[in-house]
Chain A
Amino acid sequence: MSGTSAARGVFGAVLILALWEVTARGFALPAYTLPAVTQILGAVWEHRAALQAAALVTGFEAITGYAIGALAGIGMATLLVLARPLRAGVLPLLLAINSVPVVAWSPLVLLWFGVGVSSKIVMVALAVGFTIFLSALAGFDRVDRRSVDLMRSFGAGRIGIFWRLRLPAALPLIAAGLRVATVRSLIVAIVTEMLGAYGGLGWIIYQSVTLIDFVQVWAAILVASTLSLAFFGAVGALERRFIFWR
């Protein structure tokens, strides 16, 4: 991002926040409609200890599930590429599981893995796993047939071709999948927390709604989106650093 476009982004954000503040204060909107920005920031500061603890729980669930899902997704795609016959049998099943929105599995996952952290990790791993699996598979398949032939003519076997050609060729697509999955991992962690949890930002949002504390809801949302942006930015930076050839 160039200096001017960054400056424009900051300017736009400040403008929207100012408009928000003026609207909320000017029309004296009640907190359940739209609290003022300063009110939300005040609540974040006031509840900083609780929010920080919740952010740690949610962040842990999201990142752990993300790591497991990413490894499983890449691993499964690798397996299907190296063991071609497996592909015809397994791929339709995986696509069928994936055709149901991931959140639909959450009641079952809560039942099987309990209300604690592990059910959230499983849900995130499922959501991230499929995203990465599909982008990795597409990436592995995308290689130029002539490049495969060239490597074969050098005497390379299936594993050699995978390691030296398919995997690096797939990295741009895998990285794009990893970047998109960051936001997904936090969404799924928070939604699952709202269905039953002992802590976390989703749990705070749910609790605050039942307590009719809407400023607190907004405070938790603000923290969640900050977390999400930071995760997205970090993975995006790694992508730009390592996928230099695009």
Chain B
Amino acid sequence: MNSAPLLELRGLSKRFGAVQALEGFDLDVQPGEFVTVVGPSGCGKSTLFNIVAGLDEPDAGGILRFKGRGCHARELLGQVSFMPQRDLLLPWRNVVDNAILANEIEGANRSQARAKALSMLPEFGLTGFENQYPHQLSGGMRQRVALMRTFLFERELMLLDEPFGALDALTRSMMQRWLLDVWQRHRRTILFITHDVDEAIFLGDRVVVMTARPGAVKLMREVNLPRPRAPELLTSPEFTAIKREVLDAIEEEAMKSFLTGTAAAP
């Protein structure tokens, strides 16, 4: 890819009181790329996401560029479609009305947004559930509604923060393949946080391993495995080779953070 990066982060730092969450973090994300981020717990992954989502301002000195233009983090509010770890569906809204929440906030016509959401239900495996409320859905379905809400908020950059973290292994691997499928059709740029190394390699064009706190880039690994990716890939020698490399890097950092006791809070 030789086009200009969609997102450029240079020397990004963030300190909360005595805690240096990020220090000198660098990353470029190309349009249409699927980048996964792994790291030991408490390595500042969520801080990174909060900055890119526009919720937190990085400390002075770092560079944040979006679509080739330098900007403050807060200018990214409403520009990036963000999906937090928990689905955070609103219990008083049914599936369709939860899915169109972001569109409603940007002032879209409600009935048009609903029609669009209805047409997307089959793709998200939610056909027939449009009028159900969150408490009537399983964990996997709730997660798909949250993903649908993220997809309907049509922004070039999507931030997914451990979207499948709470799901059981089987549902999780189904959701991963499904996400790749949807991503291949919609071709958005995705930045995806996970704890799961298999997931990071299986999904990503590139895996970013973060150091223990303060968070920086430990390893940047291209995943040159062919797409579409099938589950058999997980046991292939190419996959295993990448996995060993990534695991070694994580192991080193986890040891470091364990010894210095900074692994306390995620």
- Tell me whether A and B are bound partners: yes
Partner-B contacts on A (CB < 8 A): 144, 146-147, 149-156, 160, 164-165, 168, 171, 244-245
Interface residues as binary, B74-116 with A (CB distance below 8 Å gives 1, 0 otherwise): 0001111110101010111000000001101110000000000
| B137 contacts A by Cβ under 8 Å | no
Chain A hits for B91, CB < 8 A:
245
Per-residue CB proximity of B234-249 to A under 8 Å, as 1/0?
0000000000000000
- A154 in complex: contacting residue of B86, B105, B134, B135, CB < 8 Å: B105
Q: Produce 1/0 per residue, B169-182, CB < 8 A to A.
A: 00000000000000
Contact of A150 with B82 at beta-carbon distance under 8 Å, contacts A164-B104, A245-B133 already known: yes
Q: Which residues of A contact B32 (CB under 8 A)?
A: none
Task: Tell me what chain A mostly uses at the interface: helix, strand, loop, or mixed.
Answer: helix
Nearest CB to that of A242 among chain B residues? B92
Do A164 and B86 touch across chains, with their CB atoms under 8 A apart? no
Query: CB-CB < 8 A to B134: which residues of A?
Result: 245
- The distance in angstroms between the C-alpha atoms of A164 and B98, with both chains bound, is 11
Asked whether B102 lies within 8 Å of A152 as measured between CB atoms, the reply is no
A112 vs B178: C-alpha distance in the bound complex, in angstroms?
A: 70
Flag if B82 contacts A160 (CB, 8 Å).
no
Question: By DSSP majority rule, is chain B's interface helix, strand, loop, or mixed?
Answer: loop
Known: A146-B84, A153-B53, A155-B77. A168 touches B92 (CB 8 A): yes
State the interface size on chain B (CB cutoff 8 A). 25
Centre residue among B55, B80, B102, B105 by max chain A CB count within 10 A: B105
Contact present for A144 and B88 (CB under 8 Å): yes
Report B's interface with A, CB cutoff 8 A. 50, 53-55, 77-82, 84, 86, 88, 90-92, 101-102, 104-106, 133-135, 153
Q: Are B106 and A153 in contact (CB under 8 A)?
A: no
In the complex, the answer to whether B86 meets A153 with C-beta atoms within 8 Å is no
Q: How far is the CB of A173 from chain B (nearest CB, A)?
A: 14
Of all chain A residues, which has the CB nearest B53? Answer: A153
- The residues of B that contact A244 with a CB separation of less than 8 Å are 92, 133
Inter-chain contact B82/A153, CB cutoff 8 Å: yes
Contacts of A245 in B (CB 8 A): 91-92, 133-135
Query: How far apart are the CA atoms of A150 and B81 in the complex, in Å?
Result: 9
User: B188 to nearest A CB, angstroms?
Assistant: 16
Contact A150 B84 (CB under 8 A): yes
Report 8 cross-chain contacts, Cβ distance below 8 Å, ordered by A residue.
A144-B88, A149-B84, A153-B53, A153-B78, A153-B80, A153-B81, A155-B106, A164-B101
Residues of chain A within 8 A (CB-CB) of B133 are: 244-245
Q: Given the complex of chains A and B, what is the CA–CA distance between A113 and B102 in angstroms?
A: 50
B208 to chain A, nearest CB (A): 21
Chain B residue at minimum C-beta to C-beta distance from A150: B88
Residues of A contacting B53 in the complex (Cβ-Cβ under 8 angstroms): 149, 153
Contact B90 A168 (CB under 8 A): yes
Contact B90 A154 (CB under 8 A): no
Shortest Cβ distance from B153 into chain A, in angstroms?
Answer: 6
Instruction: Give CA–CA (A176, B78) in the complex, Å.
Output: 35
Since A153-B55, A155-B105 are in contact, a sample of 15 more A-B pairs with Cβ atoms closer than 8 Å, ordered by chain A residue number, is A146-B86, A146-B88, A147-B90, A149-B55, A151-B105, A152-B54, A152-B55, A153-B78, A155-B106, A156-B105, A160-B105, A164-B90, A164-B104, A165-B90, A244-B133
